[in-house]
Copies of this chain bind each other. A is one copy, B any other.
Amino acid sequence: MSVNIKEYIDEYREILDAYIKKTFSYKNHDKALDDLHSVFRAAGGGKCIRGSLVKLGYEIAGGNSDERLLPISAAFEILQTSLLCHDDIIDCSPLRRGKPSIWKSIADEAGSYHYGISQAICLGDHGFISAINLISTSDFPHPVKLRALDLFCKVIRNTLDGEMLDVQMTEARDYGDEKRIIEIARLKTAFYTIIGPMQLGAVMGGKPPFNEKLLSDIESFGENLGIAFQIKDDILGISAEEREIGKSDMSDVIEGKVTLLIHYALENGNKVQRQKLKELYGKKDLTRDEKSIVYAVFKSANAFSDAERKAARYLEKANEVINKLTNNQDHQELLSQLSSLMVERKF
Protein backbone atom coordinates (compact mmCIF):
# COMPACT_ATOMS: atom_id res chain seq x y z
CA MET A 1 0.00 0.00 0.00
CA SER A 2 1.27 3.40 -0.96
CA VAL A 3 1.47 5.95 1.85
CA ASN A 4 1.37 8.76 -0.68
CA ILE A 5 -2.24 9.84 -1.00
CA LYS A 6 -1.85 10.97 -4.61
CA GLU A 7 -0.43 7.61 -5.60
CA TYR A 8 -3.06 5.87 -3.49
CA ILE A 9 -5.82 7.68 -5.40
CA ASP A 10 -4.16 7.37 -8.81
CA GLU A 11 -3.56 3.64 -8.44
CA TYR A 12 -7.13 3.01 -7.38
CA ARG A 13 -8.57 5.24 -10.08
CA GLU A 14 -7.07 3.06 -12.77
CA ILE A 15 -8.48 -0.12 -11.25
CA LEU A 16 -11.88 1.43 -10.57
CA ASP A 17 -12.21 3.09 -13.98
CA ALA A 18 -11.48 -0.25 -15.63
CA TYR A 19 -14.07 -1.97 -13.42
CA ILE A 20 -16.73 0.64 -14.16
CA LYS A 21 -15.99 0.50 -17.87
CA LYS A 22 -16.32 -3.27 -17.86
CA THR A 23 -19.45 -3.65 -15.74
CA PHE A 24 -21.41 -0.42 -16.04
CA SER A 25 -22.45 -0.89 -19.62
CA TYR A 26 -26.20 -0.98 -19.21
CA LYS A 27 -27.54 -1.87 -22.66
CA ASN A 28 -31.04 -1.81 -23.96
CA HIS A 29 -31.93 -3.17 -27.37
CA ASP A 30 -32.85 0.31 -28.56
CA LYS A 31 -30.15 2.39 -30.21
CA ALA A 32 -31.60 5.74 -29.17
CA LEU A 33 -31.64 4.59 -25.53
CA ASP A 34 -28.15 3.17 -25.70
CA ASP A 35 -26.85 6.44 -27.09
CA LEU A 36 -28.41 8.38 -24.23
CA HIS A 37 -26.99 6.03 -21.60
CA SER A 38 -23.58 6.35 -23.15
CA VAL A 39 -23.65 10.13 -22.63
CA PHE A 40 -24.02 9.47 -18.91
CA ARG A 41 -21.22 6.92 -18.87
CA ALA A 42 -18.91 9.25 -20.76
CA ALA A 43 -19.52 11.91 -18.11
CA GLY A 44 -17.84 9.76 -15.45
CA GLY A 45 -14.12 9.57 -14.92
CA GLY A 46 -13.59 12.15 -12.21
CA LYS A 47 -10.63 12.30 -9.90
CA CYS A 48 -11.82 9.24 -7.99
CA ILE A 49 -11.44 10.89 -4.61
CA ARG A 50 -14.71 9.46 -3.39
CA GLY A 51 -14.02 5.96 -4.67
CA SER A 52 -10.60 6.05 -3.01
CA LEU A 53 -12.10 7.22 0.26
CA VAL A 54 -14.43 4.24 0.22
CA LYS A 55 -11.30 2.09 0.02
CA LEU A 56 -9.52 4.01 2.76
CA GLY A 57 -12.52 3.78 5.12
CA TYR A 58 -12.70 0.07 4.36
CA GLU A 59 -9.04 -0.48 5.16
CA ILE A 60 -9.24 1.56 8.35
CA ALA A 61 -12.10 -0.68 9.50
CA GLY A 62 -9.99 -3.75 8.79
CA GLY A 63 -11.36 -4.74 5.39
CA ASN A 64 -9.01 -6.63 3.12
CA SER A 65 -10.77 -7.84 0.02
CA ASP A 66 -10.27 -5.22 -2.64
CA GLU A 67 -12.09 -7.14 -5.33
CA ARG A 68 -15.34 -7.27 -3.41
CA LEU A 69 -15.19 -3.56 -2.68
CA LEU A 70 -15.13 -2.44 -6.31
CA PRO A 71 -18.92 -2.22 -6.84
CA ILE A 72 -19.23 -0.18 -3.65
CA SER A 73 -16.59 2.32 -4.73
CA ALA A 74 -18.16 2.36 -8.18
CA ALA A 75 -21.52 3.16 -6.59
CA PHE A 76 -20.07 6.33 -5.13
CA GLU A 77 -18.52 7.44 -8.37
CA ILE A 78 -21.80 6.85 -10.21
CA LEU A 79 -23.74 8.63 -7.48
CA GLN A 80 -21.47 11.59 -7.97
CA THR A 81 -22.10 11.68 -11.71
CA SER A 82 -25.86 11.62 -11.01
CA LEU A 83 -25.70 14.41 -8.47
CA LEU A 84 -23.60 16.55 -10.81
CA CYS A 85 -25.92 15.72 -13.70
CA HIS A 86 -28.92 17.16 -11.85
CA ASP A 87 -26.85 19.94 -10.29
CA ASP A 88 -25.74 21.13 -13.73
CA ILE A 89 -29.36 21.41 -14.85
CA ILE A 90 -30.16 23.41 -11.74
CA ASP A 91 -27.13 25.68 -12.13
CA CYS A 92 -27.51 25.91 -15.92
CA SER A 93 -23.85 24.85 -16.14
CA PRO A 94 -22.79 24.07 -19.68
CA LEU A 95 -19.41 22.71 -18.57
CA ARG A 96 -18.31 19.95 -16.22
CA ARG A 97 -14.84 18.52 -15.88
CA GLY A 98 -13.88 20.63 -18.88
CA LYS A 99 -16.45 18.95 -21.15
CA PRO A 100 -20.06 19.80 -21.97
CA SER A 101 -22.29 18.77 -19.08
CA ILE A 102 -24.80 15.98 -19.68
CA TRP A 103 -27.86 18.15 -20.33
CA LYS A 104 -25.81 20.47 -22.52
CA SER A 105 -24.35 17.69 -24.57
CA ILE A 106 -27.80 16.19 -25.28
CA ALA A 107 -29.36 19.62 -25.83
CA ASP A 108 -26.70 20.58 -28.37
CA GLU A 109 -27.08 17.34 -30.28
CA ALA A 110 -30.86 17.75 -30.53
CA GLY A 111 -30.92 21.52 -30.76
CA SER A 112 -33.32 21.75 -27.82
CA TYR A 113 -32.66 22.93 -24.27
CA HIS A 114 -35.78 21.32 -22.89
CA TYR A 115 -34.96 18.01 -24.54
CA GLY A 116 -31.50 18.12 -22.97
CA ILE A 117 -32.74 18.67 -19.46
CA SER A 118 -35.55 16.12 -19.84
CA GLN A 119 -33.20 13.31 -20.76
CA ALA A 120 -30.62 14.45 -18.21
CA ILE A 121 -33.24 14.29 -15.43
CA CYS A 122 -33.93 10.65 -16.38
CA LEU A 123 -30.26 9.76 -16.72
CA GLY A 124 -29.51 11.21 -13.30
CA ASP A 125 -32.38 9.18 -11.83
CA HIS A 126 -30.98 6.10 -13.53
CA GLY A 127 -27.60 6.70 -11.94
CA PHE A 128 -29.06 6.85 -8.43
CA ILE A 129 -30.75 3.53 -8.99
CA SER A 130 -27.66 1.93 -10.54
CA ALA A 131 -25.57 3.02 -7.58
CA ILE A 132 -28.04 1.58 -5.10
CA ASN A 133 -28.29 -1.63 -7.05
CA LEU A 134 -24.50 -2.02 -7.09
CA ILE A 135 -24.58 -2.03 -3.31
CA SER A 136 -27.62 -4.29 -2.96
CA THR A 137 -26.16 -6.92 -5.31
CA SER A 138 -22.59 -6.78 -3.99
CA ASP A 139 -20.87 -9.77 -2.41
CA PHE A 140 -21.11 -8.74 1.26
CA PRO A 141 -23.18 -10.31 4.06
CA HIS A 142 -26.82 -9.20 4.07
CA PRO A 143 -26.67 -7.17 7.32
CA VAL A 144 -23.63 -5.30 6.00
CA LYS A 145 -25.36 -4.46 2.72
CA LEU A 146 -28.52 -3.29 4.44
CA ARG A 147 -26.62 -1.05 6.83
CA ALA A 148 -24.67 0.29 3.86
CA LEU A 149 -27.88 1.04 1.97
CA ASP A 150 -29.24 2.91 4.95
CA LEU A 151 -26.12 4.97 5.15
CA PHE A 152 -26.09 5.57 1.40
CA CYS A 153 -29.69 6.82 1.53
CA LYS A 154 -28.82 9.18 4.37
CA VAL A 155 -25.87 10.59 2.44
CA ILE A 156 -27.99 11.20 -0.65
CA ARG A 157 -30.74 12.82 1.40
CA ASN A 158 -28.36 15.18 3.13
CA THR A 159 -26.76 16.10 -0.17
CA LEU A 160 -30.16 16.84 -1.69
CA ASP A 161 -31.19 18.90 1.33
CA GLY A 162 -27.97 20.87 1.01
CA GLU A 163 -28.68 21.44 -2.66
CA MET A 164 -32.24 22.57 -1.96
CA LEU A 165 -31.10 24.95 0.74
CA ASP A 166 -28.48 26.30 -1.64
CA VAL A 167 -31.03 26.80 -4.41
CA GLN A 168 -33.45 28.44 -2.01
CA MET A 169 -30.89 30.90 -0.63
CA THR A 170 -29.54 31.68 -4.10
CA GLU A 171 -33.05 32.45 -5.35
CA ALA A 172 -33.74 34.64 -2.32
CA ARG A 173 -30.30 36.31 -2.65
CA ASP A 174 -29.93 35.52 1.00
CA TYR A 175 -26.26 35.89 1.93
CA GLY A 176 -26.71 37.09 5.48
CA ASP A 177 -26.72 33.91 7.52
CA GLU A 178 -23.25 32.40 7.96
CA LYS A 179 -24.62 29.39 9.84
CA ARG A 180 -26.85 28.41 6.94
CA ILE A 181 -24.00 28.87 4.48
CA ILE A 182 -21.86 26.49 6.51
CA GLU A 183 -24.83 24.12 6.76
CA ILE A 184 -25.03 24.00 2.97
CA ALA A 185 -21.35 23.01 2.84
CA ARG A 186 -21.87 20.35 5.50
CA LEU A 187 -24.95 18.83 3.86
CA LYS A 188 -24.13 19.30 0.21
CA THR A 189 -20.37 18.81 0.16
CA ALA A 190 -19.06 17.09 3.28
CA PHE A 191 -21.52 14.19 3.23
CA TYR A 192 -21.04 12.96 -0.26
CA THR A 193 -17.40 13.95 -0.63
CA ILE A 194 -15.85 12.59 2.56
CA ILE A 195 -18.21 11.38 5.30
CA GLY A 196 -20.31 9.18 3.01
CA PRO A 197 -17.51 7.42 1.13
CA MET A 198 -15.42 6.79 4.25
CA GLN A 199 -18.37 5.62 6.35
CA LEU A 200 -19.59 3.37 3.58
CA GLY A 201 -16.14 1.83 3.33
CA ALA A 202 -15.98 1.44 7.11
CA VAL A 203 -19.33 -0.38 7.14
CA MET A 204 -18.20 -2.73 4.36
CA GLY A 205 -14.96 -3.44 6.27
CA GLY A 206 -16.82 -4.29 9.48
CA LYS A 207 -19.66 -6.50 10.62
CA PRO A 208 -22.46 -6.14 13.18
CA PRO A 209 -22.17 -4.73 15.75
CA PHE A 210 -20.59 -1.98 13.66
CA ASN A 211 -17.89 0.24 15.09
CA GLU A 212 -20.09 3.24 15.85
CA LYS A 213 -17.23 5.21 17.37
CA LEU A 214 -15.28 4.92 14.12
CA LEU A 215 -18.34 6.02 12.13
CA SER A 216 -18.83 9.02 14.36
CA ASP A 217 -15.12 9.98 14.21
CA ILE A 218 -15.31 9.76 10.43
CA GLU A 219 -18.30 12.11 10.50
CA SER A 220 -16.43 14.60 12.60
CA PHE A 221 -13.31 14.40 10.40
CA GLY A 222 -15.29 14.57 7.17
CA GLU A 223 -17.58 17.35 8.28
CA ASN A 224 -14.71 19.67 9.11
CA LEU A 225 -12.60 18.74 6.11
CA GLY A 226 -15.62 18.95 3.80
CA ILE A 227 -16.49 22.45 4.94
CA ALA A 228 -12.85 23.56 4.57
CA PHE A 229 -12.82 22.02 1.10
CA GLN A 230 -16.00 23.87 0.07
CA ILE A 231 -14.68 27.21 1.26
CA LYS A 232 -11.48 26.69 -0.71
CA ASP A 233 -13.52 25.58 -3.69
CA ASP A 234 -15.48 28.81 -3.60
CA ILE A 235 -12.28 30.84 -3.42
CA LEU A 236 -10.88 28.96 -6.41
CA GLY A 237 -14.20 29.34 -8.21
CA ILE A 238 -13.73 33.07 -8.54
CA SER A 239 -9.95 33.31 -8.71
CA ALA A 240 -8.61 30.34 -10.70
CA GLU A 241 -8.21 29.82 -14.42
CA GLU A 242 -10.89 27.95 -16.34
CA ARG A 243 -8.50 25.16 -17.30
CA GLU A 244 -7.66 24.55 -13.62
CA ILE A 245 -11.24 24.19 -12.39
CA GLY A 246 -13.01 22.95 -15.51
CA LYS A 247 -15.55 25.77 -15.45
CA SER A 248 -15.60 29.50 -16.07
CA ASP A 249 -14.34 31.74 -13.26
CA MET A 250 -17.37 33.93 -13.99
CA SER A 251 -20.03 31.33 -13.30
CA ASP A 252 -20.28 31.60 -9.51
CA VAL A 253 -20.75 35.36 -9.78
CA ILE A 254 -23.29 35.06 -12.61
CA GLU A 255 -25.16 32.39 -10.65
CA GLY A 256 -25.15 34.53 -7.53
CA LYS A 257 -23.74 31.55 -5.67
CA VAL A 258 -24.17 31.48 -1.90
CA THR A 259 -20.63 31.48 -0.50
CA LEU A 260 -18.81 32.72 2.56
CA LEU A 261 -17.00 35.15 0.24
CA ILE A 262 -20.09 37.12 -0.72
CA HIS A 263 -21.27 36.88 2.88
CA TYR A 264 -18.05 38.41 4.24
CA ALA A 265 -17.79 40.96 1.43
CA LEU A 266 -21.29 42.26 2.18
CA GLU A 267 -20.60 42.21 5.90
CA ASN A 268 -17.20 43.92 5.78
CA GLY A 269 -17.66 46.17 2.78
CA ASN A 270 -18.58 49.85 2.93
CA LYS A 271 -21.80 51.24 1.52
CA VAL A 272 -20.44 51.83 -1.98
CA GLN A 273 -18.95 48.33 -2.14
CA ARG A 274 -22.17 46.72 -0.92
CA GLN A 275 -24.07 48.66 -3.56
CA LYS A 276 -21.71 47.43 -6.28
CA LEU A 277 -22.09 43.83 -5.14
CA LYS A 278 -25.86 44.07 -5.05
CA GLU A 279 -25.77 45.36 -8.59
CA LEU A 280 -23.29 42.86 -10.03
CA TYR A 281 -23.47 39.65 -7.98
CA GLY A 282 -25.95 37.40 -9.77
CA LYS A 283 -26.08 39.55 -12.92
CA LYS A 284 -26.90 37.24 -15.79
CA ASP A 285 -25.08 39.24 -18.51
CA LEU A 286 -22.00 40.00 -16.41
CA THR A 287 -19.03 41.30 -18.39
CA ARG A 288 -15.44 40.33 -17.68
CA ASP A 289 -14.76 43.84 -16.37
CA GLU A 290 -17.68 43.62 -14.00
CA LYS A 291 -16.43 40.28 -12.74
CA SER A 292 -13.10 41.95 -12.02
CA ILE A 293 -14.88 44.59 -10.00
CA VAL A 294 -16.56 41.92 -7.87
CA TYR A 295 -13.19 40.26 -7.39
CA ALA A 296 -11.59 43.56 -6.36
CA VAL A 297 -14.34 44.31 -3.86
CA PHE A 298 -14.00 40.83 -2.37
CA LYS A 299 -10.30 41.46 -2.02
CA SER A 300 -10.44 44.90 -0.49
CA ALA A 301 -13.25 43.90 1.89
CA ASN A 302 -11.03 41.05 3.15
CA ALA A 303 -13.49 38.40 2.04
CA PHE A 304 -10.69 36.13 0.80
CA SER A 305 -8.59 36.43 3.94
CA ASP A 306 -11.57 35.93 6.24
CA ALA A 307 -12.65 32.87 4.28
CA GLU A 308 -9.11 31.50 4.24
CA ARG A 309 -8.93 31.88 8.00
CA LYS A 310 -12.23 30.09 8.42
CA ALA A 311 -11.11 27.25 6.16
CA ALA A 312 -7.90 26.92 8.15
CA ARG A 313 -9.86 26.58 11.36
CA TYR A 314 -12.05 23.80 9.96
CA LEU A 315 -8.98 22.08 8.55
CA GLU A 316 -7.32 22.18 11.93
CA LYS A 317 -10.38 20.62 13.56
CA ALA A 318 -10.38 17.87 10.94
CA ASN A 319 -6.72 17.13 11.57
CA GLU A 320 -7.30 16.88 15.30
CA VAL A 321 -9.62 13.92 14.73
CA ILE A 322 -7.14 11.86 12.71
CA ASN A 323 -5.36 10.26 15.65
CA LYS A 324 -8.64 9.30 17.30
CA LEU A 325 -9.91 7.82 14.08
CA THR A 326 -7.21 5.20 13.63
CA ASN A 327 -4.05 3.95 15.32
CA ASN A 328 -2.51 2.74 12.08
CA GLN A 329 0.28 5.16 11.22
CA ASP A 330 0.04 4.63 7.48
CA HIS A 331 -3.65 5.44 7.57
CA GLN A 332 -3.00 8.48 9.73
CA GLU A 333 -0.42 9.65 7.25
CA LEU A 334 -2.80 9.18 4.33
CA LEU A 335 -5.59 11.09 6.08
CA SER A 336 -3.26 13.91 6.95
CA GLN A 337 -2.04 14.15 3.35
CA LEU A 338 -5.65 14.00 2.20
CA SER A 339 -6.47 17.03 4.32
CA SER A 340 -3.70 19.09 2.81
CA LEU A 341 -4.40 17.90 -0.70
CA MET A 342 -8.09 18.69 -0.53
CA VAL A 343 -7.70 22.22 0.68
CA GLU A 344 -4.72 22.94 -1.53
CA ARG A 345 -6.55 21.40 -4.48
CA LYS A 346 -3.31 20.17 -5.95
CA PHE A 347 -4.64 17.15 -7.74
Contact = CB atoms under 8 A, between A and B. Distances in A.
A240 interface: no
A213 to B, nearest CB: 23
A24 to B, nearest CB: 13
A132 B161 contact: no
A160 to B, nearest CB: 5
A33 B164 CA distance: 7
Nearest to A134: B153
A136 interface: yes
Copies of the chain in the assembly:
2
Interface stretch (A58-66, A139-147, A320-328): A139-147
Nearest to A137: B150
Nearest to A147: B136
A80 to B, nearest CB: 14
A42 interface: no
A47 B149 CA distance: 30
Interface of A: 26, 28, 30, 32-33, 36, 86, 89-90, 92, 110, 112, 114-115, 117-119, 121-126, 128-130, 132-133, 136-137, 142-143, 145-146, 149-150, 153, 156-157, 160-161, 163-165, 167-169, 171, 180, 183
B126 A125 contact: no
Nearest to A135: B149
A119 B110 CA distance: 25
Given A33-B161, A128-B128, A150-B136, A110 B171 contact: yes
A149 B136 contact: yes
A126 B157 contact: yes
The 5 closest A-B pairs by CB, nearest first: A142-B142, A90-B118, A133-B153, A136-B149, A32-B168
Given A142-B143, A146-B142, A146-B146, A125 B160 contact: yes
B168 A119 contact: yes
